[in-house]
Structure formats: C-alpha cells, structure tokens
C-alpha cells in the first residue's frame, strides 16, 4: 500500500474509497439506456442544423453527456461517503440528511455546485432544516457546497414567500471549511485534492475496468440507415402519422 500522507484518513481507507468510486464509473451504453432519458429528436435536429454538424456527431455528443451525468452522480458519492472515514462520530445515513453528527447535532445537506438548486429546491431544503430546528433547538443544519462561490461558513440567507429569512443555526458552508470543521486542519481539502490524481492512478493501475462500449449508433442504424429518422421513430413511433414517416 502506498503512503499518501493524509493524516486525517488512512491510506487503505482513501484507496478503497477512491476504488469504490472508480468502479461505479459507467463504461457501457446501448440504445435502451440511451433512450431511457427520453431523447428529444426535435432538439437534436436543431443542434445538427444550427451547429452544422453531422447527426452522428450530435448523437455521440448526447451519449457523452449522458455518461458524464451518470459519472457526476458518482462524484457526489465520493464527496459524501468519504466522511464515513474522517473524524469521530460522522455518519452517512441511508436516508435523510447526507451527513450527520448525532452527538454534535449537526445535519448536512451536500450539493456539488452552489448554483445547482433552483428556488423551489432551495426553499424546500431550507424549510426542511427549519423543521429540524423545531425538533431540536440546539441543532445546526448546513448546506455544504463542494464548489461554492467563496470559502465560507456563513448563515444561509434564503427567500421564503418573497421574504428574506436568516437563522444562525442554518449555515452555508464551502467544502474546505467543512473539512476543517471535521478534521481540525484548514488545509485538509487542499491536501486531498493534491494527492487525489496519484490515488486514482494507483487504483486504475490495480483494477480491471470494463471495456468502453457504445452500441447506440449501430442499434439506431438497425432501425433505419437514416440516423435522424431512426431517432424520430424511436421517440414518436406511436404518434399519429409516423407509421410512414420519411426524411
């Protein structure tokens, strides 16, 4: 086992956690998976014509987007579940809040980016935290953002019913400040990011990863050689008039 010199997590724990994340990565996609996201043929048509791209390239770009979306979710797993191994008393529940410290009465909701929640989602999260405080006035609730606007640990000022609300016990915290809170080391997150490429390389070298396969184009061409027509038939085949659709 290599030495990664992270004093807040053991070499084996960080290696295994990175490995679990890597093995979750998606390497294969077929037409059924591709279409499970409800492909919009009209949008793909606009993309192809406006950007003057071959429809095959547009479909490949959509495949990459879908794979990237899946893998982004796995990075969320990495950020959340690492706290199973860091600090005393921190747990990752199966449901409810993302991270909890029962003894310190800290309840954490984690988001990857500060701008990923719309106003409705923000209000719902804030009200959930307010409910937690009603159950326990000594609790602290945190929205921890991996990519925040600033390095911060501040009261979360939210808008509810067009009114600004703030409570010192509901906080907005950047991931570096949360790592500092958990480990006592203000540079803990920076240290993790510094060594992470090496850990991933070690994991990839040791692991047997699935071969990358993409059968979407071949399966679409089996429907019709005209890929754009195949996309329309895939989504709209039960609509009126599409039994004799041509392009």
Print the domain residue range for 143.
Answer: 90-187
pLDDT in tens, 172-210: 999 999 999 999 999 999 999 999 999 999 999 998 888
Euclidean distance between CA atoms 143 and 173, whole angstroms: 6
CA angle, 182 as apex, 177 and 183 as ends, to 5°? 95
pLDDT in tens, 118-159: 788 889 999 999 999 999 999 999 999 999 989 999 999 988
223: its two tokens: 């429907």
Q: Is residue 229 part of a domain?
A: yes
Q: Is residue 242 part of a domain?
A: no
Same domain, 60 and 107: no
Same domain, 215 and 179: no
Same domain, 133 and 65: no
Q: Is residue 1 part of a domain?
A: no
Half-sphere exposure (CA, 13 Å, Cβ side) for 100?
13
Closest CA to 101 of 181, 18, 1: 181
CA angle, 154 as apex, 151 and 155 as ends, to 5°? 155
Same domain, 77 and 95: no
* Maximum distance among all Cα pairs of the chain, rounded to whole angstroms: 67
Same domain, 42 and 120: no
How many domains are there within the chain? 2
Closest CA to 150 of 103, 181, 114: 114
């Amino acid at each position: 086992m290599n030495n990664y010199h992270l004093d807040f997590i053991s070499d084996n724990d960080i290696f295994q956690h990175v490995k679990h994340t890597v093995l979750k990565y998606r390497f294969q996609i077929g037409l059924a998976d591709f279409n499970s996201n409800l492909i919009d043929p009209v949008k793909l048509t606009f993309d192809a014509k406006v950007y003057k791209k071959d429809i095959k390239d547009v479909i490949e770009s959509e495949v990459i987007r879908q794979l990237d979306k899946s893998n982004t979710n796995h990075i969320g797993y990495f950020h959340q579940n690492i706290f199973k191994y860091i600090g005393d008393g921190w747990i990752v529940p199966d449901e409810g809040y993302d991270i909890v410290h029962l003894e310190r009465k800290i309840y954490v909701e984690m988001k990857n980016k500060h701008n990923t929640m719309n106003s409705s989602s923000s209000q719902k999260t804030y009200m959930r935290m307010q409910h937690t405080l009603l159950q326990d006035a000594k609790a602290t609730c945190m929205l921890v953002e991996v990519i925040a606007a600033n390095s911060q640990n501040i009261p979360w000022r939210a808008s509810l019913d067009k009114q600004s609300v703030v409570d010192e016990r509901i906080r907005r915290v950047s991931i570096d400040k949360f790592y500092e809170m958990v480990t006592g080391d203000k540079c803990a997150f920076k240290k993790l990011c510094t060594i992470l490429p090496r850990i991933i390389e070690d994991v990839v070298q040791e692991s047997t990863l699935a071969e990358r396969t993409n059968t979407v184009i071949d399966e679409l061409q089996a429907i019709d050689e005209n890929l754009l027509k195949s996309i329309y038939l895939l989504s709209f085949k039960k609509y009126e008039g599409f039994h004799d659709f041509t392009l």
